[in-house]
Chain A
């Protein structure tokens, strides 16, 4: 028996398949049109520069005349550069002070401001407002307030009978003043983030703990703080990244001085690349910073994973 005649037209199934494929292709084209501006800008100005920066760090380059390949010389020079060593030490000191202080004080303030007190909205606003003030404006303002001659700070100290201070001109004080100023402006961020997180502490959990006879301290220690852990980890990461990248404030207030006391690592990079015109050297320093940031982020990621697993185990 002969088989069925070969059809002149495509089967129903085949037709549907083709229409689907055509629709897919059209959708794919539209999608690419939608994402291409973002891809062009974002990848063009991040992936390309990351590779370029690495190549630059192996070169002696002044950004104007053609550079030459020097291999690992920049990194070797960095390891022996006392100014780079000082910048790293300053940055670590700054970070080690700013991050824990901003988080502990931010949490404490958030716990207080989470209570039902009169004027609590006003307090929250006043503490948050400095956050929106640019670092340039902060720097200008505090350079003025802390001016050894004309500043209001010395004037107040004078009235209190304290001898006038050097502030930013004193190498022993300058770095700590920077920490204080960034605490003034950055604390509000931690408070706001913690306040938002405190809203999400499950009420049944608190009530259950109360019924079990938990006091205020136990409630904080065993219910509130554990539920805030993910937020705290986020804040540590966020504040650390910010602390390692401080530049604007330094540029406006001290320009890294006095005697390099406030040269933080980003200021060092900028100085090398755009002031001393040793861009390759600056790029090498930037790579060291980036690797450090990456290690911190990876470490926290691991810690976060372990922490969340531990918490899951506790609630099960």
Chain B
């Protein structure tokens, strides 16, 4: 299987690769010009991008009233969430994916945070939204959004990963792009109140052990949450990245369950019931349980294991230049901070410590880089996250040895991207 891709395949890859290239088109074209130092004796031709006066340099641009809520440059139009239509029966109960390949830093822009809904996006008038807390409490209470916004606030940056992220890759390489293999994750700053603040208002009874969180959407999403976690670091948030939540991310109110699977982060949150046992809802029995090779299944697999992925180069971001290049990616762990990220360029034989740059925060994505020279040789790129507990991201083979291939969720195996001599990059499975 290590033979060269056919030209048809390569053409198709170039076509797909163009998704990530739109923005860089101009810069890419410029770099194709003979450089001044290229060949001795040749006279360098002047660059028309410099010598010709451009429209934007002469004519007036848009006024300040044109984009009262900003939009990305039109040259970035391909940097969007995308879905995989064959994954689900209906777009209202479906998922789309964050274009990780085109992003940098650690914060995901709000408009690019992946979406997963079960009954479509609930469009809720915040003036009509209520949060009820009842069950094993001293006083069942109802809060308005105004009530909640008068409570002490907290700001935290956390990743939110769907437990099914990379779930299509259990049996082998399937989707050609880290947007699709790893794009069910985002990382934003949340503003809200701690769940403890809210529970303190109602007064939790001493025999309480579990909470039920329920959404106001047409799926009435409900999930059980252990009280211990609720009192530890759970937030009820109304803002992300400095503005109100987007409707697709739970406006006006959602749960934030740091480090734990995204399905627990109930959106459009309207009800919290306090109880003494889990409810065994559809989402925590038929889904989000991990079927093991012996036919039994793990339940309550809440924590997201340490994981990483190289976002560029990747299938949607092929290598374009020989010489200097920047490899970059993201790493995260549901158990705390990422301590180290290793990168291999030869399919896991030899590893180098990557440079982490930017904030290293608890249960947040970190950004890593390797600045390297490429002379056109084939590369098998991998990254491996290590978290503060000493957990090392396993290979896919190690993971399958324990879990088989039917567990659907929690696939945190090491990803391999094969870079061909022409820079085309593809998702492969290696042994």
Is A bound to B? no
B residues at A contact (CB < 8 Å) = none
Binding site for B on A (CB under 8 A): none
